[in-house]
């Protein structure tokens, strides 16, 4: 029985010790279809398992030959002295096992090719290019011809944020949704969110040219206090209070169905004292979950005021943020289709 041990240096930074992935790749190439533990990894320091521990595990597993490869670029002291010293000690402990110690990676023409690829990738894969190519892939992999053109940028950005093409089928738009959203942005209206994560994800740089702002009151002390006194969720209390502001132009709800139900309750009541009830802001309602999320979105889809929602359990912060950011990009003249 033969075992292979890949030896890395190891780092105090735990997430830098990822030699296991290389071990799995090597195993799949050398022993395709094998379910055994033929290839192991070990670290010289800072991480586990250490080299002697990996050798012991192989020997106890019945290995009669252990191949050790130093995953190092050059033959420094670790490669030429420290590791060979450990192998010599192991030979004394396991005289029936044959040990083979390979050269380090060293200088190889394929390494030059890798460096060239990294340079080429770094030069090309700037964030803007990555996003552009992602949108191209989305357009190549699905047919949008049956969907109104003005909805394409929003649907594509949601798919881009979630990698889920199902949103093409489940997103639902009120006939005035996009126009209302764009007008609100250009008028510098406030964007009201149910949770801080949605607020954080909205692109402030795209918004600032219009003089708008994003607000979320869920962590306000009076909201927390009122929630404790009334038993209502902080999200619904915060949304209702936010709707009292006449500058609210877009309501973005990605998490809390109770917030969406409260927004619907307020906005469909034209006699409500809330200022927003008389201005018909756009409601982006896409809460995620199994309790009231789908039901709240079905209710939203039946309203006469402007909305964008998706009729499924899926949704969440990334979807709400993607919709608002798509509108912001469209308002600035980008993402036309």
Catalytic site positions: 160
Q: Give the closest residue to 262 by CA, choosing from 61, 272, 164.
A: 272
Name the residue among 30, 41, 31 with its Cα closest to residue 6.
Answer: 41
What is the token pair recorded at 155? 């649907």
Whole-number Å distance between alpha carbons of 288 and 49: 41
Question: 304, 293 in Cβ contact below 8 A?
Answer: no
Place of tokens 């010293």: 85
Return all residues near 273 (Cβ < 8 A) that are at least 6 apart.
Answer: 244
Alpha helix ranges (H) inside 50-176: 51-60, 77, 83-93, 109-124, 127-141, 152-162, 167-170
Residue 216 and residue 309: Cα distance in Å, rounded?
20
Assigned token pair, 115 = 């460096």
DSSP bridge partners of 66: 3, 99
DSSP H helical segments within 187-309, as ranges? Answer: 196-201, 204-208, 221-230, 234-242, 257-267, 293-301
């Amino acid at each position: 029985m033969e075992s292979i041990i890949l030896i890395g240096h190891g780092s105090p930074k735990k997430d830098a010790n990822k030699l296991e992935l290389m071990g799995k790749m090597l195993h799949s190439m050398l022993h395709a279809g094998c379910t055994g533990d033929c290839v192991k990894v070990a670290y010289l320091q800072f991480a586990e398992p250490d080299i002697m521990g990996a050798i012991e595990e192989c020997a106890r597993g019945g290995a009669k030959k252990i191949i050790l490869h130093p995953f190092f670029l050059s033959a420094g002291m670790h490669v030429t002295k420290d590791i060979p010293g450990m192998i010599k000690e192991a030979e004394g402990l396991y005289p029936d096992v044959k040990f083979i110690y390979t050269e380090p990676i060293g200088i190889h023409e394929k390494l030059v090719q890798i460096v060239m690829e990294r340079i080429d990738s770094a030069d090309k894969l700037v964030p803007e290019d990555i996003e552009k190519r992602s949108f191209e892939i989305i357009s190549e992999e699905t047919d949008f011809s049956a969907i109104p053109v003005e909805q394409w940028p929003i649907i594509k950005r949601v798919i881009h944020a979630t990698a889920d093409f199902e949103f093409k089928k489940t997103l639902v738009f009120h006939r005035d949704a996009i126009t209302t959203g764009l007008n609100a942005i250009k008028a510098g209206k406030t964007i009201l969110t149910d949770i801080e994560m949605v607020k954080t994800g909205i692109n402030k740089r795209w918004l600032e040219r219009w003089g708008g702002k994003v607000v979320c009151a869920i962590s306000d002390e009076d909201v927390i206090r009122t929630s404790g006194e009334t038993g209502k969720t902080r999200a619904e209390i915060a949304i209702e209070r936010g709707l009292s502001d006449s500058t609210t132009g877009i309501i973005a709800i990605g998490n809390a169905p109770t917030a969406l139900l409260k927004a619907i309750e307020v906005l469909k009541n034209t006699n409500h004292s809330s200022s927003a009830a008389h201005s018909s802001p756009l409601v982006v309602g896409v809460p995620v979950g199994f309790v009231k999320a789908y039901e709240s979105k079905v209710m939203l889809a039946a309203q006469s005021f402007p909305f964008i929602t998706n009729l499924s359990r899926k949704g969440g912060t990334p979807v709400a943020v993607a919709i608002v950011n798509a509108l912001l990009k469209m308002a600035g003249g980008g993402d036309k289709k």
